[in-house]
Structure 1
Amino acid sequence: MLLERTTKLVADIGQFAKMKRSAGEAKALQTRADQLSPVADKLRESAETLAKIRKAGIVVSFVPKEGDELGKRATDLLTALRSDPNNLVNPAIDLKYQFIDRLLSVATAAQSVSLAAWRRHVAENSERAPEEILSALAAIPDYQSTVAKIRSLQKRVSQLAENIPADPASATEEIKRIAAEHREIWETMTAGGIPEDVAAFLRACGLEGATLGSFTPSVAAWLSERGLVHLFRVKLR
Structure 2
Amino acid sequence: MLLEKSYQLSELSQKTINLRKYAEHYQGFQSRQKQIEQAVTGTLLFVQSLRAFREREIANLDLNQKADSLLKFIANVEAKFQEDPEWIIDNENFNRNNFDSKVKDLQKALREQLSQAWWLYRIQKMPSTNNEILNVLDKVSAFKPTIQRIRNLDGQIREYNSIPQSSEDFDKVDRLIEELKQCWDGLNADEVPEAVLRFLRVAANEGATRGLLTPEVEDWLTKHRLIDSLRIRLT
Instruction: Compute the TM-score of the two structures, normalised by the length of structure 1.
Output: 0.71
What is the identity, as a one-letter code, of the residue corresponding to 2:206? E
Q: Which residue of 1 aligns with 2:27?
A: 27
Assess, with a 3 A threshold, how the Cα gap between structure 1 residues 180 and 90 changes in structure 2: closer, same or farther. Answer: same
Q: Which residue of 2 aligns with 1:204?
A: 202
**CA distance in 2 between partners of 1:114 and 1:137 (Å):** 36
**CA distance in 2 between partners of 1:119 and 1:213 (Å):** 36
1:66 is paired with a residue of what secondary structure? helix
Quote the offset at 1:70 in angstroms: 1.7
Point out the more displaced range, 195-204 or 41-50. Answer: 195-204
Identity %: 17
**CA distance in 2 between partners of 1:141 and 1:169 (Å):** 34
Segments of 5+ residues of structure 1 without an aligned counterpart are 1-17
**CA distance in 1 between partners of 2:175 and 2:19 (Å):** 52
1:21 is paired with a residue of what secondary structure? helix
Quote the offset at 1:71 in angstroms: 1.1
Assess, with a 3 A threshold, how the Cα gap between structure 1 residues 21 and 219 changes in structure 2: closer, same or farther. Answer: farther
What is the identity, as a one-letter code, of the residue corresponding to 1:152? N
Aligned residue runs from structure 1 range 76-225, under 5 A: 76-92=76-92, 95-160=95-160, 162-164=162-164, 166=166, 167-168=168-169, 170-171=171-172, 173-175=174-176, 177-186=178-187, 188=188, 198-211=196-209, 213-214=211-212, 219=218, 222=222
Quote the offset at 1:32 in angstroms: 1.6
Query: Number of matched residues?
Result: 214
Assess, with a 3 A threshold, how the Cα gap between structure 1 residues 62 and 36 changes in structure 2: closer, same or farther. Answer: same
What is the identity, as a one-letter code, of the residue corresponding to 2:199? F
Query: Quick check: which has more Rg, 1 or 2?
Result: 2
Verify the 8 A CA contact 2:128 2:204 in the aligned structure 1: yes
**CA distance in 1 between partners of 2:126 and 2:68 (Å):** 38
Aligned residue runs from structure 1 range 32-71, under 5 A: 32-55=32-55, 57-64=56-63, 65-71=65-71
Verify the 8 A CA contact 2:146 2:183 in the aligned structure 1: no
Quote the offset at 1:39 in angstroms: 0.6
Map Cα deviations across residues 71-113 of structure 1 (whole Å, 9 max, x no partner).
1111111222233333322244673432212212212322332
Quote the offset at 1:197 in angstroms: 5.2
Quote the offset at 1:68 in angstroms: 1.6
Quote the offset at 1:142 in angstroms: 3.2
**Alignment RMSD (CA, Å):** 3.5
